[in-house]
Amino acid sequence: MAQPAKNENPIRLWGGRFTGEMDPLMNQYNESLSLDRIFYAQDIKGSIAYARANVKTGILTQEEFEKLEEGLKKVLQEWDEGKFQPAPGDEDQLLSVPLYIHTANERRLGEVIGTNVAGKLHTGRSRNDQIATDMRMWLRDELDLIEEHLVDLLKVIAQRAKQDIDYIMPSYTHLQRAQPIRWSHWLLSYAIAFQSDLERLRFTKKNINKLPLGSGAVAGNAFGIDRMQMAKELGFEGLIMNSMSAVGDRDFVVEMLQCASTIGSHLSRWSEDLIIYSTLEFSYVKLADAYTTGSSLMPQKKNSDSLELLRGKSGRIFGAMTGLMMSIKGIPSTYNKDLQESVQPMLDTVKTLRDGLQIAARLLATATVYPDKMRAALSPDMLATDLAEYLVRKGVPFRETHHLAGKMVALAEDENKGMDELTIEQFQGIDKRFGDDVLSVFDYERSVELKDATGGTSRRAVLEQLEALKKTLGG
């Protein structure tokens, strides 16, 4: 196989110390442009802010800055319009040049405005503080989008909870039928989880939004650059106050992955419930065709692939988090090349989570709910606790009423009847304190309405939860 021609003048930001060529396999192993090219806009904006600050240090004249800014904006426009042409030294993995977005942008800048001025841009700056800045800028913008998608999912949950508030279904513990609840109450149980995720996400964004730029390679900037000026221009809320920490920290990626893992866990459990509820054995919910697939062999099948993928991809997010934590847990302080391994899990997790939240919202908005199937799954034994509480209201201690209600459950099973089919005499045969009105207990609507304390499943309590959620969403 013919080898590409050697680049006679490869741009190496670190080239003066080295004269020998890099092993092509090592170059491929070292390559990052295929990933960090996504940071092109952040890299250029950071460079403009850095150049502007260096007018004040005297490194650049105002005229030189304006030339740099004009050139960088042209490079940005080329990227935006898909016209940026990578040079062999930027992209070809067989050449003896490590591949970085910084190299590509600076190389093109030199072509646009000349290397005399372009060569001044990197004064006092390192790839170490540059990539850390690029990543933080990119990630905070992506988390803004993820926040929007999470809010959208919460709005869909709230809308369905309000719309479907009269639907009553079984709740489950240990995957066994427990007590009657409103379908809306189940929906809002996940709203609470996603609401907590939203709060964590916002806190994570705040931690990310601190500027590393101006820290140099490790020891700081030697030209007295005004880092706060750059922070304000780039929209950062503050600075990372120690240069060693600034270049060696990837905790902000880990924190994002931890936050994403929690969201993924909630999406997974939510999906598992809906997978179960959409089976023919339950038939509480039917997914729209847009979020299901069929079988290549069995014509009758309608598979909930969207939910299964949401459940499965949560493991991918968890893996990204644990993988990165293992990569960085033992490295010494400041920058080490291991930190390059933070980029891929960050990019993959952001896309996985961003897509998943949108799928979840659309899936729920278009799902069909069958309240008759939910109600048909209710059974009188699910009101055994209500029966115990009936006697509590007559002054009987709960431990005693629990035992008596259990005896009524056993009697109904022996008689092969529903508890509501037993006679008054049979109730009073167990305990005389059961009154003539005892059968009024066996009313599912009554049962859910009795759970009226804050956080319960009564209509009022559900509406109260909806109101609280509305305030969190700011509308």
Tally of CB atoms within 10 A around 152? 17
Catalytic residue among 34, 102, 122, 174: 174
Helix (H) or strand (E) holding 369: strand 368-369
Question: Which CATH code is given to the segment(s) 128-376?
Answer: 1.20.200.10
**Identity of residue 185:** H
Cα–Cα distance measured from residue 119 to residue 116, given in angstroms and rounded to the nearest whole number: 5
Q: Is 178 helix (H, G, I), strand (E, B) or coil?
A: strand
> What is the C-alpha end-to-end distance of the chain, expressed in Å?
63
| Rounded (5°) CA angle 104-109-111 | 100
Among 14-18, 362-366, 367-371, which is the least confidently predicted range? 14-18
Q: Is 295 a catalytic residue?
A: yes
Cα–Cα distance measured from residue 55 to residue 52, given in angstroms and rounded to the nearest whole number: 6
Q: For residue 187, give the nearest of 215, 209, 160 by alpha carbon.
A: 160
Q: Is 181 helix (H, G, I), strand (E, B) or coil?
A: strand
Full DSSP string of 186-201: HHHHHHHHHHHHHHHH
**Identity of residue 333:** S
Catalytic residue among 295, 333, 403, 440: 295
Q: What is the pLDDT of residue 249?
A: 96
Please give the DSSP secondary-structure letter assigned to residue 211.
Answer: E
- Reported residue count of the chain is 475
Tally of CB atoms within 10 A around 28? 12
Q: Is 174 a catalytic residue?
A: yes
Pick the CATH number of 380-442 from 2.60.40.1930, 1.10.40.30, 3.30.70.20, 1.10.1270.20: 1.10.40.30
Cα–Cα distance measured from residue 97 to residue 107, given in angstroms and rounded to the nearest whole number: 13
| Rounded (5°) CA angle 442-446-450 | 120
Q: What is the pLDDT of residue 31?
A: 59
If you average pLDDT over every residue of the chain, what do you get? 91
Cα–Cα distance measured from residue 240 to residue 465, given in angstroms and rounded to the nearest whole number: 39
Q: Tens digits of per-residue pLDDT, 394-440? A: 999 999 999 999 999 999 999 999 999 999 999 999 999 999 999 99
Q: Percent helix, strand, coil in the chain (nearest 5)?
A: 65, 5, 30
Domain boundaries along the sequence of the chain? 15-123, 128-376, 380-442
Q: Tens digits of per-residue pLDDT, 276-294? A: 999 999 999 999 999 998 7
- Region 306-323: mean pLDDT is 97
Q: What is the pLDDT of residue 302?
A: 84
Q: What is the pLDDT of residue 116?
A: 94
Q: What is the pLDDT of residue 29?
A: 61
Q: Does pLDDT of 33 surpass 60?
A: no
Q: Tens digits of per-residue pLDDT, 85-141? A: 877 655 433 333 335 788 889 999 999 999 999 999 999 999 999 999 999 999 999
Angle between helices 101-113 and 40-57 (to 10 degrees): 60
Q: What is the pLDDT of residue 295?
A: 74
Residue carrying the six token digits 């590393």: 212
Q: Which architecture, in CATH terms, is 15-123?
A: Orthogonal Bundle (1.10)
